[in-house]
Amino acid sequence: MNLELFIAKRLIKGAAHKSSISAPIIKIAIAAIALGIIMMLIAIATGVGLKYKIREKVAAFNGHIQIYNYDNNRSDVSVMPVSLEQDFYPTFTSVSGIRHIQAVATKGGLIRTPDTFEGVIAKGVGKDYDWSTFKEYLVAGRLPDFTGELNDEVLISRILANRLKLKLGDTFQTFFPKDDDPSKTPNQRKFKIVGIYDSGFEEFDSTYIFVDIRHIQRINKWTSDEVGNFEVFLDNFDDIDQKTKEIYGKTVSELNTQSIKDKYYKIFEWIGLFDFNIALIIGIMIIVGGINMITALLVLILERTQMIGMLKAMGAANWSIRKVFLYNAVYLISIGLFWGNAIGLGFLWVQYKFRIFKFPNPQEYYIDYIPVHLDLPTILILNVGVLLLCLLMLLLPSYIVTKITPVNAIKFE
């Protein structure tokens, strides 16, 4: 039988405990733990959710890793073609952890309407293109179908459609300058809008339209087996640095590889700050909750001074008595964690389902609503971590039990 646990349970269930002087302080301590876990859950879920969403959007337009010809000089448009006849295409079997690889080509152009014009980058994609991400961004119409014969279907962003005063089903002319001699009459293509997307990432939305890659090949006078570059998608984004090196080592010397972390390093440096902010909030909340629990524990010890004296007079060891109060503290912390998780997870579920809370300036965060992402391992680690850290903080104040002598404790009122 665990005597310390038995005594702690009796103290918790006792009616005197609920109406004692320490009752308000205990309630405050429980509320502090609950509020702390709510704030930590929100900080982690929103911080990680925003980071994942931004990464997802950047990858949707670029893939996680790009393979291209060295002569392109990291240009946003395809300059020198790459042959489709590669060992890694269409399946990259020599490197593990690769989900998909697709061939694309880009070409700078100018959309002209009777009222206005806009410079764009036409991204040519083919039947191997993964449209799964863009299904979420589609706001009107449908995604283009480039699996059959060459067609004039195009996917355009809502930003460009509004600027050009175009709508679903409209057609427009796009002019592509000739690379060998820009002074010559540019190539002209007529496209029909079959879909309008809005990713919330203005930097990309105001630039890219999606067309059949065969248009880009014909404009550039490439063969059907020549493309601008390859986009590689990974199973796990956290492996991107390692996989970039592995892919570079598995490709021929004429080809280079670049991850989106390197290409858009400013964006990823910015979202890297989210981790620091999350850690700071967690640290502050644990300190606040721990201080409140220390106060509650000291009050409990002072309130039970006579009981401590009686236990010592009967031969109880100091550590045994300290365990009684630590068990009591675990109970109080657990109550706070329970209510904190119930309220916090409930709030996050509502935000996940209904997207109630929005960003006041969506263009600054590349998304209009506050995204949330939380998994079970994170929740468990957070709760266990809070419990253990609070208990460690309580070990020192529980040492006051050793300073209480039986004679003075029994006389204490």
Task: Give the DSSP letter string of 72-110.
Answer: GTT-SS--S-EES--TTSS---SSTTEEEEEEEEEEEEE
**CB contact burial 79-97 (16+ within 10 A = b; e otherwise):** ebbbebebebbeebeebee
Q: Which amino acid is at 145?
A: D
Query: For the residues of 211-241, what is the DSSP string, one character each?
Result: EEHHHHHHHTT--TTEESEEEEEES-GGGHH
Q: Which pair of tokens denotes residue 237?
A: 């984004």
352-406 per-position pLDDT tens digit: 999 999 998 888 888 889 999 999 999 999 999 999 999 999 998 888 887 878 7
pLDDT digits (tens, 9 = 90+) for 313-358: 888 888 898 999 899 899 999 999 999 999 999 999 999 999 999 9
Calculate mean pLDDT across residues 248-253: 92
Q: What integer best gives the mean pLDDT of the chain? A: 90
Average pLDDT in the 170-181 region? 87
Positive or negative: CA dihedral 236, 239, 241, 242: negative
Mean pLDDT, rounded, for 118-134 = 95
User: And the tokens for 372?
Assistant: 């949330």
Distance CA 233, CA 229 (A): 13
Q: Rounded distance, CA 7 to CA 300, Å?
A: 14
Question: pTM of the entire structure?
Answer: 0.87
**pLDDT tens digits for range 136-168:** 999 999 999 999 999 999 999 999 999 999 999
Span 291-304, pLDDT tens digits: 999 998 888 888 88
